[in-house]
């Protein structure tokens, strides 16, 4: 059984944070990466970094919450991806009573509807080539809830159900669909959340990190982007061809309690 061939990997939200780390890591393993982001400039900066290190990548402007944008980008690629990392994410912390419904809708569009549209767009190529991997970047909030995050938690829970159905629909081929469920990863999105949570709970940012973010984790430390990237790399390999429909928790023991 071969471990790895060179793959074509599309990563959403790859201009910063988890997406940037995953794109850079997979490029360093010899894969070609389509670095997509809502803003083209950070995507191009990531591509420049990858190419400077001898990797292969291209930048593409993609709105993961817009089906027309998704279909247009995939149509425009001469070689379609055979690995899809659905990473793009946004957050808004507010009680439901105070939650603007247009923001609620936007979170679901980016983190659930867009995931479905992207998956639909790449599945024909995966079937034709006899290989495909869809890796959804969920969250520990795909498995548990937290106050103030109704839209995010709903979308991330939805990813697990979506992945199960896709795994069943692709069970007759060498395609797998899984959801990674990390606890807090130290990224710009989480840094912004620290401030939002401090405001919501009326406590300091240090207390948010210690008493809200890391307290549920017996390991007591943030997840590193490389941990997620390495898990993606493994799921892409032939060794993981029977791992599908799984919610894989990288949560420092959070959900054991």
**pLDDT at 187 (0 to 100):** 85
- Same domain? For 149 and 201 the reply is no
Q: What is the pLDDT of residues 105-146, one digit of tens each?
A: 999 999 999 999 999 999 999 999 999 999 999 999 999 999
Q: Which helix (H) or strand (E) holds 58?
A: strand 56-61
Return the exposure string of 19-46: e unless at least 16 CB atoms fall within 10 Å of the residue's CB, then b: bbbbbbbbbebebbbbbbbbeeebbbbb
Is position 256 within any domain?
no
- Same domain? For 21 and 77 the reply is yes
Is position 47 within any domain?
yes
Q: How many domains does the chain have?
A: 2
Distances (CA, A) of 236 to 86, 155, 196: 14, 24, 35
Is position 147 within any domain?
yes
pTM beyond 0.75: yes
Domain that includes residue 189, residue range: 185-222
DSSP per-residue letters across 143-187: TS--TTBHHHHHHHHHHHHHHHHHHHHTTTTTEEEEEEEES-B-S
Assign 2 a pLDDT band (cuts: 50, 70, 90). low
- Same domain? For 40 and 143 the reply is yes
**pLDDT at 186 (0 to 100):** 84
Of 34, 152, 184, 239, which one is the catalytic site residue? 152
**pLDDT at 189 (0 to 100):** 73
- Same domain? For 165 and 206 the reply is no
CA distance 210 to 214: 5
Residue 191 CB coordination number (10 Å): 11
- Same domain? For 142 and 37 the reply is yes
- Flag whether pLDDT at 257 surpasses 50: yes
- Same domain? For 125 and 233 the reply is yes
- Same domain? For 27 and 88 the reply is yes
**pLDDT at 1 (0 to 100):** 47
Assign 3 a pLDDT band (cuts: 50, 70, 90). low
- Flag whether pLDDT at 211 surpasses 70: yes
- Same domain? For 145 and 189 the reply is no
Instruction: Name the E strands within 202-256.
Output: 247-250
- Flag whether pLDDT at 162 surpasses 80: yes
- Same domain? For 88 and 50 the reply is yes
The percentage of residues in the chain with a pLDDT greater than 70, rounded to a whole number, is: 98
The percentage of residues in the chain with a pLDDT greater than 90, rounded to a whole number, is: 92
CA distance 161 to 257: 22
Is position 1 within any domain?
no
- Same domain? For 119 and 208 the reply is no
Q: What is the pLDDT of residues 223-241, one digit of tens each?
A: 999 999 999 999 999 999 9
Active site residue 184: no
Cβ pair 16, 42 in contact under 8 A:
yes
Assign 190 a pLDDT band (cuts: 50, 70, 90). confident
Is position 257 within any domain?
no
Assign 247 a pLDDT band (cuts: 50, 70, 90). very high
- Flag whether pLDDT at 194 surpasses 60: yes
CA distance 22 to 230: 8
- Same domain? For 83 and 210 the reply is no
């Amino acid at each position: 059984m071969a471990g790895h061939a060179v793959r074509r990997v599309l990563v959403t939200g790859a201009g910063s944070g988890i997406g940037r780390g995953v794109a850079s890591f997979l490029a360093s393993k010899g894969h070609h990466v389509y670095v997509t982001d809502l803003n083209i400039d950070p995507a191009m900066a990531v591509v420049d970094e990858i190419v400077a290190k001898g990797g292969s990548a291209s930048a593409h402007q993609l709105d993961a919450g817009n089906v027309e944008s998704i279909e247009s980008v995939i149509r425009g690629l001469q070689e379609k991806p055979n690995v899809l990392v659905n990473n793009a994410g946004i957050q808004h912390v507010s009680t439901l009573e105070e939650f603007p419904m247009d923001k609620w809708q936007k979170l679901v569009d980016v983190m659930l509807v867009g995931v479905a549209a992207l998956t639909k767009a790449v599945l024909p190529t995966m079937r034709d080539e006899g290989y495909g991997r869809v890796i959804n970047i969920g969250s520990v909030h795909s498995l548990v809830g937290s106050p103030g995050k109704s839209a995010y938690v709903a979308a991330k829970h939805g990813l697990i159900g979506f992945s199960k159905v896709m795994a069943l629909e692709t069970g007759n081929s060498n395609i797998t669909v899984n959801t990674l469920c990390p606890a807090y990863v130290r990224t710009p999105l989480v840094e912004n959340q620290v401030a939002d949570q401090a405001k919501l709970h009326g406590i300091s940012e240090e207390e948010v990190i210690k008493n809200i973010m890391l307290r549920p984790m017996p390991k007591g430390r943030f997840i590193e982007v490389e941990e997620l990237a390495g898990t993606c790399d493994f799921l892409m390999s032939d060794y993981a061809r029977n791992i599908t429909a799984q919610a894989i928790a990288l949560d420092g023991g959070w959900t054991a309690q």
